[in-house]
Amino acid sequence: MTTKRFQVALSFPGEYRDYVSQVAEVLKQSLGKDKVFYDQWYKAELARPDMDVLLQSLYHDHSELIVPFLCADYERKEWCGLEWRAVRDLIKQRQSKDIMPMRFDNSQIAGLFGIDGYVNLNDYTPQSAAELILQRLQSNQVAISKPAIKIYSNCLPTVEGEFFGREAELKLLNDAWAGDGTRIIQFIASGGTGKTKLLRHWLDRANDIDALIAWSFYSQGSSEDKQVSASPFFSHVLDKLGSTRSLSSFATEEEKGEHLADLLRQQRCVLVLDGLEPLQHAGKGMRNELKDRAIRRLLTSLAGQNSGLCIITTRVAVHELNNRTHVKVHDLQNLAVTDGVKLLQSLGVQGNDKELEKAVREYRCHALALHLLGNALHTYLDGDVRKRDTLTELIGDYDDLERHAFKVMQAYSIWLDGTPELKLLLLLGLFDHPIETEVLQVLWQAQIPDLTANIDEKAWKVAIRDLREKHRLLSIHENRLDLLDCHPLIREYFGKQLREKQPDAWRQAHTRLYEYYKVLPQKELPDTLEEMRPLFHAVLHGCAAGLHQRALEEVYFPRIKRGSEHFSIKKLGAYSDELVILANFFIKPWSAIAPELSAMWQFHVLSLASYRLNALGRVREALEPTQIALWLAEKDEQWDAASASAHRLSDMHLTLGNLKKAMTDSQLS
Is 665 among the domain residues?
Answer: yes
With a CB cutoff of 8 Å and minimum separation 6, the contacts of 260 are: 234, 237, 238, 241, 243, 294, 298
- In angstroms, the CA 578 to CA 570 distance is 11
181 and 291 fall within a common domain:
yes
pLDDT of residue 477: 66
- In angstroms, the CA 290 to CA 286 distance is 9
pLDDT of residue 391: 87
- Label residues 171-182 b or e (16+ Cβ within 10 Å = b): ebbeebbeeeeb
pLDDT of residue 461: 87
102 and 42 fall within a common domain:
yes
Question: Strand, coil or helix: what is 69?
Answer: strand
121 and 40 fall within a common domain:
yes
- Label residues 628-648 b or e (16+ Cβ within 10 Å = b): bbbebbeeeebeebbebbbbb
115 and 177 fall within a common domain:
no
Q: What are phi and psi of 292, to 5 degrees?
A: -95, 125
Question: Strand, coil or helix: what is 587?
Answer: strand
How many folded domains does the chain comprise? 4
CA atoms within 13 A on the CB side of 664: 6
> What HEC string does 92-146 produce?
HCCCHHHECCEECCCCCCCCCCCCCCCEEHHHCCHHHHHHHHHHHHHHCCCCCCC
- Label residues 284-296 b or e (16+ Cβ within 10 Å = b): eeeebebbbbbbb
pLDDT of residue 52: 66
Residue pair 370/163 in contact (Cβ under 8 Å)? The answer is: no
The candidate with the shortest Cα–Cα distance to 438, out of 574, 575, 537, 370, is 537
Cα–Cα distances (Å) from 620 to 139, 272, 625, 654, 658, in that order, read 58, 29, 10, 11, 11
Is 317 among the domain residues?
Answer: yes
Is 172 among the domain residues?
Answer: yes
The sign of the dihedral angle between the CA atoms of 298, 300, 301, 303 is positive
pLDDT of residue 1: 40
The candidate with the shortest Cα–Cα distance to 187, out of 332, 289, 318, is 332
pLDDT of residue 280: 83
User: Which of 381, 415, 449 is at the close of a domain?
Assistant: 415
- In angstroms, the CA 330 to CA 185 distance is 7
Residue pair 412/379 in contact (Cβ under 8 Å)? The answer is: no
The candidate with the shortest Cα–Cα distance to 329, out of 207, 176, 223, is 176
Q: Are strands 6-11 and 63-70 parallel, antiparallel or unpaired?
A: parallel
Domain that includes residue 93, residue range: 6-139
Is 437 among the domain residues?
Answer: no
User: Which of 358, 389, 415 is at the close of a domain?
Assistant: 415
In the chain (669 residues long), the average pLDDT of successive 10-residue segments reads 75 86 86 85 78 70 85 70 60 64 78 62 84 81 50 77 89 90 92 90 84 80 64 90 87 91 91 90 67 91 92 92 91 94 91 93 91 91 90 76 85 92 94 87 93 91 86 76 83 92 96 96 91 94 96 96 91 86 92 93 94 87 91 90 87 84 69
CA atoms within 13 A on the CB side of 132: 17
Residue pair 593/585 in contact (Cβ under 8 Å)? The answer is: yes
CATH number at residue 614: 1.25.40.10
List helix spans (H) across 519-618: 529-544, 548-550, 567-570, 575-583, 599-615
With vertex at residue 360, the alpha carbon angle to CA 357 and CA 364, rounded to the nearest 5 degrees, is 135
Is 301 among the domain residues?
Answer: yes
Question: Got the DSSP string for 169-181?
Answer: HHHHHHHHHHTSS
89 and 193 fall within a common domain:
no
Residue pair 310/131 in contact (Cβ under 8 Å)? The answer is: no
DSSP state of 656: T
Is 376 among the domain residues?
Answer: yes
CATH number at residue 95: 3.40.50.10140
Preceding peptide of 460 cis, ω within 30°: no
342 and 324 fall within a common domain:
no
Radius of gyration of the chain measured on its C-alpha atoms = 27
User: Which of 296, 313, 331 is at the close of a domain?
Assistant: 331
Is 87 among the domain residues?
Answer: yes
Q: Are strands 475-477 and 211-216 parallel, antiparallel or unpaired?
A: unpaired
322 and 227 fall within a common domain:
yes
316 and 367 fall within a common domain:
no
Residue pair 184/302 in contact (Cβ under 8 Å)? The answer is: yes
122 and 242 fall within a common domain:
no
78 and 182 fall within a common domain:
no
Helices 488-501, 420-428: crossing angle, 10 deg rounding: 100
Q: Are strands 480-485 and 435-436 parallel, antiparallel or unpaired?
A: antiparallel
36 and 124 fall within a common domain:
yes
Q: Please state the length of the chain.
A: 669
CA atoms within 13 A on the CB side of 319: 12
DSSP state of 194: S
14 and 98 fall within a common domain:
yes
CB burial class (10 A; 0-12, 13-18, 19+) of residue 123? exposed
pLDDT of residue 115: 41
- In angstroms, the CA 276 to CA 216 distance is 8
CATH number at residue 326: 3.40.50.300
Is 372 among the domain residues?
Answer: yes
Residue pair 489/406 in contact (Cβ under 8 Å)? The answer is: yes
